[in-house]
Amino acid sequence: MRTYVRVTSDGSPYARFRRALDTGNELLVLNAARELPQIALEDALRICLVLRDGDPARYDRAAVRWLGRFALEARTATIADLRTAAAALAALPTATSDAMEQLQRLCIACGVS
């Protein structure tokens, strides 16, 4: 028995997710993310960026999930690194550029993308 994957003219689920991220529409992003079997850490951070201006509780939950995944995926991460990441995530809604730079440096230093 063959199993078919339905692909609409909209493209793959990941392509729809990327387009949703480009729109910055929170609802579209969350719906598109639900279609994906897994979300890369980098994409999870992009979701946090979309959520930062919306519901603070929703952003907080997404940021905590990102921090937990970072802790698991960055095998060389220390407690100090996790504190730095948490502080950057806390600052992301108000100091986006600085927080993103800090997170990017941290991810590079810990070998995750």
7 within domain boundaries: no
The model scores a pTM over 0.95: no
Quote the tokens at residue 78.
């220390």
85 within domain boundaries: yes
Domain count along the chain: 1
User: Residues near 15 by Cβ (< 8 Å), separated by ≥ 6?
Assistant: none
**Separation between Cα atoms, residue 9 and residue 91, nearest integer Å:** 39
Maximal C-alpha separation, the chain: 54
Percentage of the chain modeled with pLDDT above 90: 87
6 within domain boundaries: no
Query: pLDDT tens digit string along 18-28?
Result: 999 999 999 99
Quote the tokens at residue 46.
């992009």
106 within domain boundaries: yes
Query: pLDDT tens digit string along 65-103?
Result: 999 999 999 999 999 999 999 999 999 999 999 999 999
67 within domain boundaries: yes
Give residue 87's domain range.
13-110
3 within domain boundaries: no
4 within domain boundaries: no
